[in-house]
Structures are given as structure tokens and as C-alpha cells.
Structure 1
Amino acid sequence: MNIKQLLKNFSYTISSNLLSLVVSTLVVLIVPKLIGIQDYGYWQLYLFFTTYVGIFHLGWFDGIYLRYGGEYYDRLDKAKFNSQFILSTILELTLAMGIISISFLIRDNNKSYIIFMTAITMILTNMGQFFLYILQITNQIRRYASYTILGRLFYFILIVVILLLGIRSYKVLILADILSRIISLGYGVYCCRDMVFTRIRLETSNFKEAYLNITIGIKLLVANFASNLVIGVIRFGIQRFWGVSIFGKISLTLSISNLLMTFISAVSLVLFPTLRRIKTDVTRIYTDLRIILITLLLLGLIVYFPIQLVLPVWLPKYKDSLVYMAILFPMCLFDGKFEILINTFMKTLRLEKQLLILNIFSVLFSAILTLINVYIFKNLTFMMFSIVLVLGVRSTIGELILWKYLRINEIKQLLLEILIVSYFICVTWYLDLGVAFILYISVLIIYIVSHAKKIKKAISEFKSIN
């Protein structure tokens, strides 16, 4: 591994994700301040639906991701990938027409509009995903980052212009999102223009290639889809039984609690193609990366305190839902571990089947907890605890599975992390913010001091990986 190149790739993704973080933060802080709770709820519903449009490429791009991860762009068969782009575009257009037809049958005009626009977003997103996957698997992280930056920057500018013009409709916000996706897609076409603008040859071998990509990628697709559903099931339960307004408020809290995942995604993005190319023992990389990651995530929880101090004052309409950040913020630790350690290393070791089973189990567990709460407890606080519980169980089981293949055992460290997270939730939920801050910082200092040698050693070894 070229550590300089790795750090450079990290800098690209972190820069782009930092911009995404800034844009997301400003949008999260400004939009709910200026538009009504009902409109904000519908806007969040659209964002919620668009989270799942990726399933409609049927694992096609996931198969490409797994089969060609770590390849060099210049060595790719451009004609072969052109055929995959053409065929997948035809598939997306066909499926979109079906979804649009369904939208006309829905009586609720707002939901009908949202589903219609989701179909349009599906085409743009999935075609964009094709180019993003190509750039990622060939380790063109700079272009990948530029794709993200361009879309998010244009989106932010449009949102600002819309709000400055005094427009407060969620429908216009959706149009802004779609326009930004069109701009990003155009950049993706430009980056891979020698792959797109080449002679079209739809031969029998192209259909066989498509079939192979789908059959291999479907497991990873369903695993990723199930991963999104883990929280999605609970969010759907909130929308269905507590209404759009409460759904919007909780979505805001989830968005804020998930801000740390921006950086987690950056690391995960760079790691997969890099791990596929290196020759060093994967177990060593895993153990080094794990201690570094956990330390950073525990430090990241400090961000909760200034956010909880400022946001209730800035968004008083959402004060009743912002209290749940004490419960939801630690989900970044479990979700972060899952995305970087479990998800990335399972894909590198080609454990898609195990990943699929784990995520399906997590969705079923999430669904059971949601049904129990909706029909028995009917308690929103319990729903929030369910999110962290499900993510914690998924992360724990995932690590146990991975340890079996890597032949390691970090059970004591795992139990310590769970204990610290539980401690964080308890002190922030039950105690005054200032007292909670002092108590958590004290425990964090003890953790860092007691693990100082191990952290220093991990950083040193990680730099020497090749």
C-alpha cells in the first residue's frame, strides 16, 4: 500500500465529505427553521424514499463492484462496460415508467407527487451510481470526490436561492435535488466519456456479462438494502403511526446524529479498492484500523454536547424531538464500525452471503421491535432506543463473524466499548448537559491513556502496510 497515495485519497474523500457535511448541516439547520413542519415532513419523506432507489439496479453495479474492484481504469474493456451502461439505462427507464404509473393511482396529491419525483430521481441516481462505482473500483478517488462536491455544491446554492426568494414549498426543494443530480450525472459521463461514447455492440456476451454481474451482485444489493431497512423499518413505523409531522422531527434528529457518518463513508470508500490491491495480512490491517477507528469515534461523540447546547435554541419547534439525540448519537459508533470494519472487510473477503444473512436478521429484529412498540407500548422513546439496540446487535454479531475468519478475539475490548456507549447514553439522558460532559470526558481520558501504547503502535504499523 502506498501510504502517501492512501492519505491523498483520504484527503480527497474527506474534503468532499466535509463539504457534504457542511451542506447537510446548513440544510438541516436552515430548512426546518424556514419552512413549516408539514412541508418539512413531506420533504423528509421524499429523502426517505430516495434512500432505497438503489435497489432498482438489481445488484448490477454491485456485481461490477465486486468483480472488478481494484482494477485500473485503462485496463477495463470500454466496449463491455458501455454495453452494461446502455442495458442498465434501459432497465431503469422501464422500471421508472412503472413507478410513475403507480403514482397516478394514489389519491393523496402530496404522496403522488413524491412518488413521481422519486421515480425520476431513481433514474438519475442509479445511472450516476454506475459512474461512481467505476471511479471507485479503479481508485480514481479524486474524480469520485469531485462528483460529490459538484452535486452537493450546486444543491446548496439552489436551496439558498429558493429560500432567499421566499419560496417555502417542499416541491421546489425536491426539484433542486433533482437538478443537482443531473449536474453530477453530467460530470460522471464526462469522466467516463471514452466508455460512454463508443460504438454500441449489444452482443450475446454483453447479456451474459449483465447476468453474471446481477447474480453476483444481488447478494450484496440485498445486504445493502437490508442495511438501510434496519433503521428504515422503524422510521416507516413512526411515519405510519405518528404522522408526517413527527416523522419530520425525528428525521431531523436522525440527520444530526448521523453527521459523523460523513467521515466514516470517506474512509470506507477508499479502503475497499485499496484492500483488494495490497498483499499484507488483512488481519493485521483490521486490528490496527479497529483501535484507531474506535478511538476516533469515541472522540467524535464529544460533538454531541455543543450541538445539544445550540440546536434547541435555534430550532425551538423541534425541541421535543432533539432530546432523543442523547440516545441516537452513539449509533454513529456502531454504524461506523459496521461500515468500515465489518462491511468493508466482509466484501474484501467475499463474505457477501454472511453479510446478507446478518442484515436480513437485523431487519427482522428491527421489524419485531417496531411491531411490539406500535401495538403494545406505543412509546416514541422506546422506538429511539430500538434504533441503537438494533445497530449495536448487528455490529456485535458482525464482528464475531469476522473474527472467526480472521482468527482473532477482541471480546474484552468489545464489551468495554459497549459499556462506554451505555455510559454515554445514561449520563446524557439523565443528567444536566454540563455534568454529563465532565463525566464523559473523564472516562474518555481514562480510555485514551490506558490504550495509548496500543493506539501509537497501531498508527505506526498502519503506516508501514504495503
Structure 2
Amino acid sequence: MVNGRSKKLILNLLYAFGANGITMLVSLLTTLVLPRFVSIEEYGYSQLYIFYTNYIGFLHFGIPDGIYLRYGGYSYQKLDKPLFRSQFWISWVMESVVVLISWNIFRLGASTIEKQYVFFMLLCAALVVLPRTFCQMVLQTTDRINNYGIMLIIEKTVFAGLILCWIFVRNLSFKTIILSDIIGKMLSFIYVCFICRDIIWGNIINIKSCLQELKLNIQAGSKLMLANIASLLLIGIIRIGIEYQWNIETYGKVSLAINISNFILVFINAIGIVIFPMLKKMPSSILPDLYQKLKMVLSVLFLGFLILYYPMQFIIKLWIPQYSISLKYMVLIFPMCVYESFISLLINTYMKSLRKENALAIINIISLVISIALTIISTVMLKNLLLAFIAIHIVYMLRFIIADKYLTQNMHIKSNNGQILFLCILFSILSWCLSIGQSCILYMILYIVYFVKNRKELIKAYNSLVNTIMK
């Protein structure tokens, strides 16, 4: 019989999957449809905007992250509304000042009119995204996944609808793509303002008490924010190096390869959002065993994702042949989705639950230093695009190894990643050296052998997870 907690988990997963399913379809639109209807240069500028929007959230001083860590598992009704309301408005004022200063700095460095437009639209996006992030984090923290899901659906469906309209009237360009994205964000923000109206509108507390609470959230959240910045910059630094060393067309092709590799992470992130509040409520004594069981089940799932590369390559080559070079290099970084899935869903979620944000930040900073070094060598010194893609694979693999090793040692359990790393590396080598048919057959044989070899442990782990959730 399904109990209340299990029912809540299932419903949250359905909401998260539904919202992120739509997000995935929109990602498919931007990844496969946009390159078909705009030039490589126009696509490159649109991807430059999307790339920089990933970093907007780091202008909020870590306040939403602090709320996420400190209030994870709380009920929305039990939140101190005047306290949160005061933080919302003070943080929005602070963030707006920082955004305006940042924009004036970045626009001076814009070398073309197109880049000036990109940076101006980033300013507009930031003024919407930052306050929305505050409310969004409150919804995630208090397990209101349904409202969070609707917010995503509004943003993505509006964006997709406008893109289809621009295609229909034959006026699709990087400017209209960016405009559509901002309109989608604005309408989703209006929805969030309505849902969280008791947090946004009403009386506020005195500034002194509010600043004390902001200080606590910044102290907790800044470490997680730093970890997230370092995590994004792992590939961001290499992309910046490619954009600096080559032209916008090359950057667009590289972005397509990375976007396709990140395609699967949309669903993975959805599960992570649901799991965090659940872990916060569980006894710490069962977390180590739960980690091993989750890792066993997820390893079979994630390694199976790599098989998707082969039909995707065939479809993309027929649909947008001008990006065929992207597919060639994509095999080197496609295993990134495996490493990042483990990090995003399992390791990051555990570290947040165990309040190990310091260690998470240090691990990501170490990985970032490695990324910077490899970027300088591959893009600046050697000017070799192949090495730049290999660098991406190496950086994400090393981060996964270091983070998993730290977490397992902390929980006094064994870390065994040999088979996972072997299959990921072999996938890239086989796909680079052999034809698509040969590499597909060989990898599927290796995957089946891996599955059969671990089937008993997998069944045992799966049954244990089901029993834990159903309790």
C-alpha cells in the first residue's frame, strides 16, 4: 500500500517530469530547430546570450541558496512571511544595483553591435530572473514542486510558441530568439508573484532583523553559490576560450555539441529537486547504504543514456548537415552527461543534505583550476579544438572521481567507479575511431555484459530502494 510520503514523492516526480518534459521539448526546439532556420552566426549569438544567462543567478549573493539549505524540508505555511518578504525586497534592491554596475562593465567590452545587444538583453533578463529565483527557491525548499513545475511550463511554452510564430512569419533571428526568451521569463515571474503573493506583498519587519537573517543566508548560501559558479565555469571557461580564439560560427557549432550532450540532464535535475527535501527528512544512519543502492541503480540507467548518441547522430546529420563537425567532436564529451548526472542527482544532493557545501565548493574550485589550465593549453597555446573537447571530458571525469571519493570516505563506504569510467572512456574511443554502426554494436555488447554481471546487485538494490521509499 502506498503511504502519504510515497504518494507525495510520486506526485512530485510526476510534476517535475511533466514540467521538465516540456523543458526537454523546448530544448529540442532550440537545439535542433533553431539551427535549421537561422545562420550559424545568428545561432552563435543566441547561444552566447543563453550561455551568459546561466550566470545571472550568481548576482544574488547566495541568499536563495542559503534559504534552500537552511529551510529545506519546511512547510510553506510555517514560514515567517514578514521575514521572507523583507529579504525579498532588500535583496532585489541590492541585486538591481549590482546588475546595473555589471552591465556597464560588460557593455564596454562588447566588440560588436550584436554583442552590445546581447549584453543589454542580459540586463533585462537579470532584472526578472533574480527576484524570480528567490521565490523559485522557496517553492523548491518547501516541496511545492507543482507550482515550480507550472512556472517552468509557462516560461518554456511561451518561448516555444513565440519561436514558432517567428518562423511562420519568417522573422527568426538571434534578436527575436532572445526577446522570446525574456517574454517567457517575464510571464513566469508574474505567475510566481501571484503564487508567492503572501511573501511578496504585506508588512515587513525592521531592517536590522532582516539584515541579520540575510547575513545567515549569505553565510550558508555563498558557499553553495561559489560551488555552483565553479561548476558552471568548468565548461564555461573552455567555451569562453573557444569563443575568444575562434569565430562566432565555431562557437555556435561547439555550443550545439554541448547542448545535445546536456540534453538528458533536464530530467536528471528534475529528480534532484524532488529528492533533496526527502533526504533532509531521513535519518542520517540510513543515508550511506541508500547512497550505494542509488548509485548502483543509476549507473545502469546513466550508462544506458550513451546509446542515445547513435540515433541522435543519424537524425542530426540528416536534419542539419552544416553542423556535422559538431557530431564528430560530440563523442568526446557525450559521457559528460553520465558524470554530470551522478554529480547533479546524487553527489550534490547528498552534500547539500549533509551540509557539506564547503567541501563541494573546494572540489569544484580544484576542478575549475584544472579546467583553466587545460583551456590555456588547448585553446591559447596549442589552438587545438580537439584538445579542447578532450579537456572537457577530463575535467568532468576528474570532478566526479574526486567528489565521489570524498563523499564515500565521509560516509565510511567503498567507492567503486572502475566499470563506469571504463565504459565512458571506451564509448568515446570506439565512437571516434570506428563507424557509427561498429561502435554502436560494440558498446551495446559491453553494456549488456555490464548489466548481466551486476544484475543480482542491481535487483537487490532496486528492491531495497522501493522498500525504503514505501515505509
Amino acid paired to 1:324: Y
Q: How far apart are the structure 1 equivalents of 2:274 and 2:175?
A: 35
Task: Name stretches of at least 5 consecutive residues in structure 1 with no aligned partner.
Answer: none
**C-alpha distance in 1, partners of 2:415/2:107?**
54
Q: Quote the offset at 1:3 in angstroms.
A: 2.5
Distance apart, 1:374 and its partner CA: 2.3
Q: 2:404, 2:415 within 8 Å by CA — same for their partners in 1?
A: no
Match of 1:67 among 41, 65, 70: 70
Shift of 1:237: 0.4
Match of 1:140 in 2: 144
Given candidates 324, 327, 336, the residue that maps to 1:322 is 327
From 113, 125, 129, give the equivalent of 2:129.
125
* Partner Cα separation in structure 1 for residue 276 and residue 14 of structure 2: 16
Q: Which residue of 2 aligns with 1:428?
A: 431
Partner of 1:229 in structure 2? Answer: 233
- In structure 2, what is the Cα distance between the partners aligned to 1:115 and 1:425? 36
**C-alpha displacement at 1:192, in angstroms?**
1.0
Rounded to whole Å, the distance in 2 between the matches of 1:295 and 1:103 is 44
Query: Of residues 382, 389, 398 in structure 1, which corresponds to 2:403?
Result: 398
Amino acid corresponding to residue 312 of structure 1 in structure 2: K
Task: In structure 2, list runs of 5 or more residues that go unmatched.
Answer: none
* In 2, Cα distance between equivalents of 1:26 and 1:93: 32
1:49 to 52, 56, 60: 52
The answer as to whether partners of 1:70 and 1:274 remain within 8 angstroms in 2 is yes
Match of 2:32 in 1: 29
Which residue in the other structure is 1:240 paired with? 244
CA distance in 2, matches of 1:141, 1:192: 13
CA distance in 1, matches of 2:125, 2:388: 29
Q: 1:332 Cα deviation (Å)?
A: 0.5
Specify the alignment match of 1:5 in structure 2. 8
User: Structure 1: how far apart are the matches of 2:111 and 2:387?
Assistant: 33
Q: Which residue of 1 aligns with 2:458?
A: 455
Cα separation, 1, equivalents of 2:438 and 2:247: 35
CA distance in 2: counterparts of 1:230 and 1:243, whole angstroms: 21
1:258 and 2:236 are equivalent in the alignment: no
Code of the residue aligned with 2:458 in structure 1: it is I
Partner secondary structure for residue 272 of structure 1: helix
Query: What's the RMSD between the two structures over aligned residues?
Result: 1.3
Q: Does 1:343 align with 2:366?
A: no
Q: Which residue of 1 is the match for residue 105 of structure 2?
A: 102
**Is residue 2:79 matched to residue 1:81?**
no
What residue number does 2:290 align with?
Answer: 285
Aligned structure 1 segments of 4 or more residues deviating by more than 6 angstroms? none
Contact 1:3 1:463 in 2 (8 A): no
Provide the residue aligned with 1:331 in structure 2.
336
Asked if structure 2 preserves the Cα contact closer than 8 Å seen for 1:301 and 1:330, the reply is: yes
Distance 1:212 1:421 in 2: 41
Render the CA deviation track for 1:217-244: whole Å, top value 9, x for unaligned: 1111010000000000000000000121
TM-score scaled by structure 1? 0.97
CA distance in 2, matches of 1:107, 1:403: 47
1:381 aligned to 2:391? no
In the TM superposition, residue 4 of structure 1 has moved relative to its aligned partner by 2.8
Match of 2:190 among 182, 186, 193: 186
Give the letter for the 1:53 counterpart: I
Cα distance between partner residues in 2 of 1:410 and 1:88: 41
From 214, 218, 237, the counterpart of 1:210: 214
Residue range with higher mean Cα deviation, 425-434 or 1-10: 1-10
Asked whether the equivalents of residues 96 and 120 of structure 1 are also in contact (C-alpha less than 8 Å), the reply is no
Percent identity, please. Answer: 35
Question: Match of 1:323, SS?
Answer: helix
Kept in 1: contact 2:163–2:172 (CA 8 A): no
- SS of the residue corresponding to residue 281 of structure 1 reads helix
Instruction: State the one-letter code of the partner of 1:443.
Output: L
Provide the C-alpha distance between the structure 2 equivalents of 1:228 and 1:408, rounded to a whole number of angstroms.
28
Check conservation: 1:103, 1:116, Cα contact below 8 A.
no
User: Across the two proteins, how many residue pairs are aligned to each other?
Assistant: 464
Q: Is the 8 A contact 2:227 2:360 kept in 1?
A: yes
Q: CA deviation at 1:178?
A: 0.5
1:107: Cα distance to partner? Answer: 5.2
Counterpart amino acid of 1:395?
F
Q: For residues 376 and 198 of structure 1, what CA distance do their matches in structure 2 show?
A: 57
Give the Cα–Cα distance (whole angstroms) in 2 for the partners of residues 18 and 322 of structure 1: 24
Q: 1:382–1:100: structure 2 CA closer, same or farther, 3 Å change rule?
A: closer
What amino acid sits opposite 1:226 in the alignment? A
Match of 1:112 in 2: 116
Instruction: Give me the whole-angstrom Cα distance separating, in 1, the residues matched to 2:104 and 2:13.
Output: 43
> In structure 1, what is the Cα distance between the partners aligned to 2:16 and 2:166?
28
One-letter amino acid of the structure 2 residue matched with residue 59 of structure 1? G
User: Structure 1 residue 201: deviation in Å?
Assistant: 3.1
Shift of 1:103: 5.3
Residue identity in the other structure for 1:27: T
Matched, 1:368 2:373: yes
Residues 93 and 202 of structure 1: is their aligned pair in 2 closer, same or farther, counting only changes over 3 Å? farther
TM-score by length of 2: 0.96
Which residue of structure 2 aligns with residue 274 of structure 1? Answer: 278
